[in-house]
Structure 1
Amino acid sequence: MSRSNRNGFSLIEVLVIFAIIAILFALALPATRRVHGAAARMKCSNNLKQLMLGAHSYADNHSTTSQSAERPTATDSLLPTGCFGPGKSPDERLSWAAALLPHLEQDDLFKKLDVEKGYAANLTAIQAPVKTFLCAGSQESSTNPTLTNYVALSGIGLGAAEQPAGTAGNGFMGYDRRTSFTMIKDGTSNTIALIETRAGLGPWARGGPSTVRGFDPADAPPVGDGRPFGEHGGGANVAMADGSVRFVSGKVAPHNLAAAITIAGGEPFDLD
């Protein structure tokens, strides 16, 4: 009597196995994306912290003595201007991000810059990638390392960066406006300094709207020609002037965001 041995799988069994694998993959994919998204958001938060540490370090090394009735011989720590160096327009000049390089452990790169010349004259030097200026969740982080996802907020109105000190609605930084921490009357923990953006990205070394933008509450949520909300789904990381970082929902009321952007408006706001 002959006996037949069964080897391998039947077609139905193979199909069942593939179906199970497909189901498991479908179940695992959202979780994997959430993990990657959380990791990118954390790296982005760390980038903003590093940038603000650099800004504070810069301010500590650039101070001036001011006089007033309340503070006869006070020393103010000065933040960088939004752009510096020669150029007929802000986007022909170098940016605050370039000024921070020595305070971001990028001394060698800073030494390659000719700060007596504008942005175009430094194109060769700025091709080196600086990961601190790019959000890990940005598609551009691997395709164009000269861009930045982070902009300084100049205040209320798309032309706020050009307003002089003392103008109502001023924000953390203007093109040629130098801000000191004592000018932030709303409190450094209550003032947004930097925000991430995903559209209209520009080079980190370039002055102008590539790195400094105003906020128009009537046209929320764009900040200048870029939108602050998007890379992490549902909101954006923001750096406060004290160096802390928080996540702000994309559904935040425009007037609340505007109140948090001004440095001396005294407006109440809720970013939660």
Structure 2
Amino acid sequence: MRRNCDGNVQQTSRPGFTLVELLVVIAIIGVLVGLLLPAVQAAREAARRMQCQNQLKQAGLAAHNYQDTLGKLPNGGRDGDHRVPDPLDDCCNSQTRYGWSWSYSILPYIEQDNVYDLSSESDDPLVGSGGNNTKENIVAQTAVPVYNCPSRRISTPYGSGMYRVDYAGNAGTRGPGSVRAAESSGKDGVIIQTDRARIRIEQIRDGSSNTIMFGEKALHRDSFGTEGGDNERWNNAGWDEDIVRFGAGKLADGTVYGIPPITDNRATHQESGAWTTVTDAGGISWGAWHPFFGSSHPGGTNFCLADGSVRLIAETVNGDIFRLLSVSNDGQPFEMP
């Protein structure tokens, strides 16, 4: 309002937004949100990928500390009862704590002593009595969040409340036949089947900075808790794809080839009640049980090398290079991808 020259109050009006102007502003805001949202999502994924890398690094450093204490790197696990001893090609998990997975063995070195101490050798069954360690399920029903990649899933119980692990030890070459056959025992990898052999970091002929120790395992989002490589307890899977994967394959004629990582959406899953298959570079088709490393991250899979360093390796990595990264004793030089 204002007064005119006669002293009377005169009403004035302010121009407002027209409907067209308002719609234009809303459209501009929508465009800005559309431009910013991918950047926000990318930043969140970068943070999740970094957290995943930190978790793998913890596992790698724990393996180093394990060796400092016990004189060797942790083994992967074994099936049956080592005291009898049962054959190493038995299935499908260990009756005693001695044969539990690497993911259980390194717990005291990632500040998870409380979980490690939930069971002891005194809980093992009497020799020849059958059954498993009586505290096996109590441990399996306890979440260890650092074993789950945040880009894939939060710690989630499956089947009778059992948790899973998203990381696998590098077992080197996957031979033809059963995963429990001697040719697939991890002896040319870093994480070796318990009682097959043992290794120290200094004994890795190809060098600890050129050899994978741990990596993410490929797992389709529709297969959580059901796929052959995700259907066992995180602490006691025996010698199984749940806790080890392979970066090289060997055919019956002796041909060795690389098995590069794949994205999670390429991993096997059920469609109309049947499992899909994934064919590797050697022409082998794999179903519910497969050897692939892989991840939910766009562009690559996280790996911890035997020297404790962590890096992202693309699914497009040359197969021969990935084979050399996975095999610990071939003595062949190469350039890191």
The match for 2:311 is 246
What is the Cα deviation at residue 131 of structure 1? 2.0
The yes-or-no answer on 1:53 pairing with 2:64 is no
The letter for the 1-side match of 2:73 is L
Q: Please give the alpha-carbon distance, in whole angstroms, between the structure 1 residues aligned to 2:292 and 2:25.
A: 45
The letter for the 1-side match of 2:242 is S
Instruction: Indicate the SS of the match to 2:307.
Output: coil
What is the Cα deviation at residue 135 of structure 1? 1.4
The yes-or-no answer on 1:79 pairing with 2:73 is yes
TM-score, normalized by length of structure 2?
Answer: 0.66
The higher radius of gyration belongs to 2
Across the aligned residues of Structure 1 and Structure 2, the Cα RMSD in angstroms comes to 3.1
Q: Please give the alpha-carbon distance, in whole angstroms, between the structure 1 residues aligned to 2:291 and 2:259.
A: 12
What is the Cα deviation at residue 214 of structure 1? 2.2
The letter for the 1-side match of 2:311 is R
Cα deviations across residues 202-239 of structure 1 (Å, max 9, x unaligned)? 24323221111223346544696264233221111111
What is the Cα deviation at residue 164 of structure 1? 7.3
Q: Which runs of 5+ in 2 are unaligned?
A: 1-8, 82-89, 126-131, 220-226, 250-256, 263-279, 281-288
Cα deviations across residues 172-202 of structure 1 (Å, max 9, x unaligned)? 1122232222431111111111111231552
- Residues 84 and 96 in structure 1, CA contact (< 8 A), matched pair in contact too: no
1:205-244 correspondence to structure 2 within 5 Å:
205-207=235-237, 208-215=240-247, 216=249, 217=257, 220-221=260-261, 225=290, 227-244=292-309
The yes-or-no answer on 1:14 pairing with 2:25 is no
1:84-103 correspondence to structure 2 within 5 Å:
84=78, 86=80, 88-92=90-94, 94-103=100-109
The letter for the 1-side match of 2:241 is P
What is the Cα deviation at residue 16 of structure 1? 1.9
1:1-272 correspondence to structure 2 within 5 Å:
5=13, 9-63=17-71, 78-84=72-78, 86=80, 88-92=90-94, 94-115=100-121, 116=124, 118=132, 122-138=136-152, 140-144=153-157, 146-157=163-174, 162-163=181-182, 170-176=188-194, 177=196, 178-199=198-219, 200=227, 202=230, 203-207=233-237, 208-215=240-247, 216=249, 217=257, 220-221=260-261, 225=290, 227-272=292-337
Change (3 A) 1:184 1:242: same
The letter for the 2-side match of 1:51 is A
Q: Please give the alpha-carbon distance, in whole angstroms, between the structure 1 residues aligned to 2:139 and 2:190.
A: 28
The match for 1:73 is none
Q: Please give the alpha-carbon distance, in whole angstroms, between the structure 1 residues aligned to 2:112 and 2:80.
A: 22
Change (3 A) 1:90 1:137: same
Instruction: Indicate the SS of the match to 2:190.
Output: coil
Q: Please give the alpha-carbon distance, in whole angstroms, between the structure 2 residues aligned to 1:256 and 1:197.
A: 18
Q: Please give the alpha-carbon distance, in whole angstroms, between the structure 1 residues aligned to 2:75 and 2:241.
A: 13
What is the Cα deviation at residue 23 of structure 1? 0.6
Q: Please give the alpha-carbon distance, in whole angstroms, between the structure 2 residues aligned to 1:181 and 1:39.
A: 30
What is the Cα deviation at residue 126 of structure 1? 2.7
Q: Please give the alpha-carbon distance, in whole angstroms, between the structure 1 residues aligned to 2:30 and 2:172.
A: 50
Change (3 A) 1:180 1:83: same
Q: Please give the alpha-carbon distance, in whole angstroms, between the structure 1 residues aligned to 2:48 and 2:183.
A: 36
- Residues 191 and 262 in structure 1, CA contact (< 8 A), matched pair in contact too: yes
Q: Which moved more, 1:261-270 or 1:153-162?
A: 153-162
List structure 1 segments (4+ residues) > 6 angstroms apart after TM superposition.
Answer: none
Instruction: Indicate the SS of the match to 2:41.
Output: helix
Change (3 A) 1:12 1:227: farther
The letter for the 2-side match of 1:135 is C
What is the Cα deviation at residue 27 of structure 1? 0.7
Q: Please give the alpha-carbon distance, in whole angstroms, between the structure 2 residues aligned to 1:226 and 1:7.
A: 70
Aligned length: 256
- Residues 150 and 197 in structure 1, CA contact (< 8 A), matched pair in contact too: yes
Q: Which runs of 5+ in 1 are unaligned?
A: 64-77
